[in-house]
A and B are shown apart, each in its own frame.
Chain A
Amino acid sequence: MLLKLAYFNLWRNPRRTLLTLSALVVSAALLILALGIFSGMMADILSSATEQYRGHIVVSRPGYQSSRDLFLTFDQHSADWTLWQQPGISALAPRLRAFALLSGVEDSQPAELLGVDVDREPLVTRLLPAVQPVGGVAVSGRAWVGEQLARRLKVGVGDELVVMTQAADGSLANDLLTVAGLFNSGDTGRDRRLLLVELTWLQGLMVLPGRIHELAMRVERPLYAAQLARQLQEQLPTHAPAKGVALEVDDWGRLLPQMQEAIASYDVSRAILVLILYSAAALGVLNTFYMSVLERSYEFGMLLATGMRPRRLKNLILLESLLLGSLASLLALLFGGALTHYMAESGIDLSDSIGPITYAGGSLPPRLHAVHEVGNYLIPLAGLLLVSLVASYLPARRAARLQPADVLRGN
């Protein structure tokens, strides 16, 4: 009966309740959408930094990631270790990296050569699938060139490039490459210096047969990559084939500390956004319940006279508020979910107005889109219930402190 009483009490002044309800629903639904878009931006920037080049987890010799020392290599067959066949790891790809001077038709440019396994790399990063295949090109010596680099070298698909560098044995290495495709990763810095080549070709050029610099991995839950990387690092010494090979497992957070900070700052921004929006919503709830308590003082006096304990009266008002919050949460879930779904499916293309923005080691494409994340729903909805309860606490306490004789006397 108390629940029923609370529910009907809520609708005594339908206009006021609806206004408060709509304020709560709009705040929470917009918050769900905003957090979804925030998450979408973070997912884009993280994906540009990891899924287009680095991978979520990278295994390499200690010190290689900071020094890019050509000689810090390990056996290519380590890619087949059973250690990597565990839940959470979606795919892995071996890589060899070198730095060389490229000469095109008219110009020369320094470049980073990334030797990749063309079958396995697309399972880890997205650079290769974006490449346009070119017919009639020799199997050996294919290259996929960043658009900016191609522009500087004044080469296009089908053109030849001369590669010149120092091989691992100290000899002068040079060869011809045919441009098989161009790529645009969205990161202009990367597109200005990166050249993808086939792994075996680069191993041959650098006189590093069967050797790689890193194993790049794609994981199922990128935000939890650090945990998985730690787990792999702990398991490495106990894995028989890995004995005697010193390897380091780095997650994207260690490889891109600025990205880690960007995500941490995102959490702070999210908290501030929640605080601002809900402070306004809390004032609305506070006003509604104060008005309601003032209007019903005489009735509360009667309830207290009938023998209702003050704490129970307080609970009745908190229950009313909880019902309002629950109803608002349900509607906000529907509206916020629908808006987020629309933004996840369609999004808004901003490429006519702005270009990609490079930020924290990643790049933000010119679009607004959202992603669904459980936390983006849980935080606003739990916050809404909390705000409803906290904001109605003072009016509820006031009601519980009423002296029935004073109220019934009209004071």
Chain B
Amino acid sequence: MSGIELQQVSKIYPSGHQQVQALVDLTLSIDDGEFCVLAGPSGSGKTTLLNLIGCLDRATSGTIRLFGQDVATCSARQLADFRLQRIGFVFQSYNLIPVLSAEENVAFPLMLRGVGRDERRRRALELLTVLGLVGLEHRRPADLSGGQQQRVAVARALVGEPSVVLADEPTANLDTGNSVELLEMMHRLNRERGTTFIFSSHDPLVIKQAERVIELQDGRLKADNRRCSAHET
């Protein structure tokens, strides 16, 4: 079933007196539980596409349907709620809240949902354990390595059990070892929990791990290749 459907989607950004066409008539669908990557050079429209799927931005034209809902009809508040309930984000530079501990960072989306303190703590610790961060839960982001911070960011994205996790260049600030570890972990979560993962990346390591590679160029779909998981081959 296609949880994410884009029909003739275009996005134009004003840039001074000019306009930049970031996406051009893009039609695409991503099924639930897919593990796919948006590949392409810088400026190809990967982040724009992620932002549109993540309800962080609105399309200039075309239709985006997420889990049957046309996002163009949603108010800003409805989009915020949609993000909170259905979408998890992993950012290139982790973007953890520096004044909160690892556990509190993970539990933060649950706090926004109104989940009780004990339940928040239980679920955050459970995920931190799964992601190999036991014993680090009380550390603040500044006291964690880049790889550890990104794993906390992944835990934060997953703690609310979203339908889809969007990751914008998640390995860009990680060394190869941490990148491999992170991708394997996300792949495992994808298999075990059925969560849809969509990455943007031009890192060959990430592209190699993906089951589906959606290649963009100049805002247009260049190629869409499905293949077996790297783990299965």
On A, residues with C-beta under 8 Å from B are 1-2, 4-5, 8-9, 11-12, 298-299, 302-312, 403-405, 408-409
Q: Taking the nearest CB of chain A, how far is it from the CB of B3, in angstroms?
A: 18
Closest to B162 in A: A307
Residues from chain A with Cβ under 8 Å of B97 in the complex: 5, 299, 303
Question: Is B100 within 8 A of A302, CB to CB?
Answer: no
User: Would you mind naming 26 contact pairs between A and B with Cβ atoms under 8 Å apart?
Assistant: A1-B108, A1-B111, A5-B99, A8-B99, A12-B98, A298-B95, A299-B95, A299-B97, A302-B89, A302-B95, A303-B97, A305-B89, A306-B83, A306-B89, A306-B156, A307-B87, A307-B113, A308-B80, A310-B80, A311-B77, A403-B57, A404-B56, A404-B57, A405-B57, A409-B47, A409-B51
Chain A residues with CB under 8 Å of B80's CB are: 304, 307-310
Convert B82-120 into 0s and 1s, putting 1 for each residue whose CB lies closer than 8 angstroms to a CB of A.
Answer: 111101010100010111100010011101110000000
For B99, what are the chain A residues with a Cβ–Cβ distance below 8 Å?
5, 8-9, 11-12
Chain A residue numbers with a CB within 8 Å of B104 are 1, 4
Count: A-B pairs, CB below 8 Å: 70
A299 and B100 alpha carbons, distance in the complex (Å): 13
What's the minimum C-beta distance from A305 to chain B, rounded to whole angstroms?
A: 5
Does the CB pair B76–A310 fall under 8 Å?
A: yes
Residues of A within 8 A of B83 (CB): 305-307
Interface core residue of A5, A12, A306, A404 (most chain B CB under 10 Å): A306
Please indicate the chain B residues that have their CB under 8 angstroms from the CB of A5 in the complex: 97, 99-100
Give a binary string over B57-77; 1 marks a CB under 8 Å from any A CB, 0 the rest: 100000000000000000011
User: Chain B interface: which size bin?
Assistant: 20 to 34
Q: Which of A4, A307, A404, A405 contacts B112 (CB 8 A)?
A: A307
> What separation, in Å, do the CA atoms of A5 and B51 have in the docked complex?
26
- Residues of chain B lying within 8 A (CB to CB) of residue A305: 54, 56, 83, 89
CB-CB nearest in chain A for B83? A307
Spell out B's residues near A (CB within 8 Å): 47, 51, 54, 56-57, 76-77, 80-85, 87, 89, 91, 95, 97-100, 104, 107-109, 111-113, 156
Interface centre among A1, A5, A8 (most CB of B within 10 A): A1
B residues in contact with A9, CB < 8 Å: 99
Of all chain A residues, which has the CB nearest B96? A302
Q: Which residues of B contact A299 (CB under 8 A)?
A: 95, 97
Which residues does chain B contribute within 8 Å of A309, judged by CB atoms? 77, 80-81
A302: contacting residue among B57, B77, B81, B91, CB under 8 A: B91
Answer whether A306 and B109 are a contact pair too, CB < 8 Å, given A299-B95, A405-B56, A408-B91: yes
Least CB separation from A298: chain B residue = B95
A2 touches B111 (CB 8 A): yes
Q: Which residues of A contact B98 (CB under 8 A)?
A: 12
* A404 CB, min distance to chain B CBs, angstroms: 5
13 A-B pairs besides A1-B111, A307-B87, A403-B57 with CB distance below 8 A are: A4-B100, A4-B104, A5-B99, A298-B95, A303-B97, A305-B83, A306-B83, A306-B84, A306-B109, A306-B112, A307-B85, A310-B77, A312-B112
A5 to nearest B CB, angstroms?
A: 6
Report, nearest first, the 5 A-B pairs whose CB atoms are least far apart.
A307-B84, A8-B99, A405-B57, A302-B95, A405-B56
Q: In the complex, how many angstroms separate the beta carbon of B118 from the nearest chain A beta carbon?
A: 13
Q: Which residues of B contact A311 (CB under 8 A)?
A: 77
Minimum distance in angstroms from B88 CB to a CB of chain A: 8
What's the least CB distance linking A18 to chain B, in Å?
17
Across the interface, which residues of A come within 8 angstroms of B77, CB to CB? 309-311
- Neighbouring B residues of A4 by C-beta, 8 Å: 100, 104
Complex Cα distance A304/B89, Å?
11
Q: Contact partner of B100 among A8, A11, A307, A308, CB < 8 A?
A: A8
